[in-house]
Amino acid sequence: MNRTTQQRSVKNVPRACVWVLGTALVLQLLWHTWLPDPQVRAMALPRPPPDGYLRLLGFGEPAVLSRLVSLWLQAFDNQPGISIPFVALDYERVTGWLRVSLRLDPGNSYPLLVASHLYTEVPDAAKVRRMLAFIESEFKLDPQARWRWMANAVLTAKHRLGDLPLALALARQLTDADAKIPGWARQMQIFVLEDLGELEAAEILLGGMLSSGSITSAHERIFLDQRLETLREAIAKRSVEK
């Protein structure tokens, strides 16, 4: 189409057309005044669909879809006109969506990050436990890539829930995992044992760790030696008191 720059005068427009235009404009404004305001409707989190359905929607890009699912889930608390607290979400469905996201791309760390840092920050112990169970189950599938989220889960169980047996069970899996996990994460079990008052068990574990040769850093070795010494003194003191 050629762009026409010249226009005829407004006088060429029939008067009826101008009247109809003005009247319709007024009616349109009145119509919208009459219409009710948009209503806020909080949507419940739906169940995650089967993987095949989602892969179809991903158009052959599961890694991209995995991240989009994570972002959508993270933003689900902010729906138009309303903000839903995380604690109000159905955690069974939340973990379902997080699993879907991980299955689409197991290398995506986003689901585990939001699981350990967002969804555990709720004042509902049952929901926090469900999220920790999710992190634990995913850690077992790939300890090498997911140990940091498990370490965070130990801290959450210990400090947020105050559930030392749970923290110990999680820390034990970090220690026993067949993967290259940094020493500080493996040693978490020792500190939880100390908090539980199981000093002898902590001593045995720490002694075994030091004698196995797995601690290669000189500074770390000195620190742990001192820690072992403190443990032995505490055990001796306790036996005297008994």
Partner 1 sequence: MGRGIITIGVFTFVEAVRGRLLWVMLALVIAGFALAEFLGSIAITEDRAIQVGVLSAVWRIVCVFLIGLAVISSLAREAADKGMDLLFSFPLDRAAYYFGKLGGFAAVAVIAAVVVAPLLLLYAPLSAVLLWMVSLFCELILIICLSLFLALTFNHVTVAVSGLMGIYVLARSIDSFQLMARGPFFDSSSLADQFIAWFLQSLAYMLPSFSLFARADWLIDPATMSGALGAVVIQTVIYGVLISAAALFDLYRKSL
Residues that bind partner 1 (CB under 8 A): 1-4, 6-10, 12-14, 17-18, 20-21, 24-25, 27-29, 31-32, 35, 37-38, 40, 49-50, 52-53, 78, 80-83
- Give CA–CA dist 133/130, Å, rounded: 5
- Residue 79 and residue 42 in contact, taking contact as beta carbons nearer than 8 Å: yes
Residues 6+ away with beta carbon under 8 Å from 180: 144
Closest separation between CB of residue 3 and partner 1, Å? 5
Identity at 3, one-letter amino acid code: R
Considering the complex, what minimum distance in angstroms separates the CB of residue 76 from partner 1?
A: 14
Nearer to partner 1 (CB atom), residue 96 or residue 143: 96
Q: Which is nearer to partner 1, 81 or 197 (CB)?
A: 81
Least distance from C-beta 75 to partner 1, angstroms?
12
Residue 54's CB: how many other CB atoms inside 10 A?
A: 18
Please say which residue, 1 or 218, places its beta carbon nearer to partner 1: 1
In the complex with partner 1, the residue whose CB is nearer, 57 or 179, is 57
- Taking the complex as a whole, how short is the minimal distance between the CB of residue 118 and partner 1, in angstroms? 18
Report how far residue 161's alpha carbon sits from residue 44's, in angstroms, rounded to the nearest whole number: 27
Half-sphere exposure for 55 (CA within 13 Å, toward CB): 7
* Shortest spacing between CB 172 and partner 1, in angstroms: 37
CA distances from 88 to 48, 49, 77, 229 (A): 18, 21, 9, 48
Nearer to partner 1, 84 or 133 (CB): 84
Q: Which amino acid makes up residue 64?
A: V
Angle, CA of 205, 173 and 162, to the nearest 5°: 85
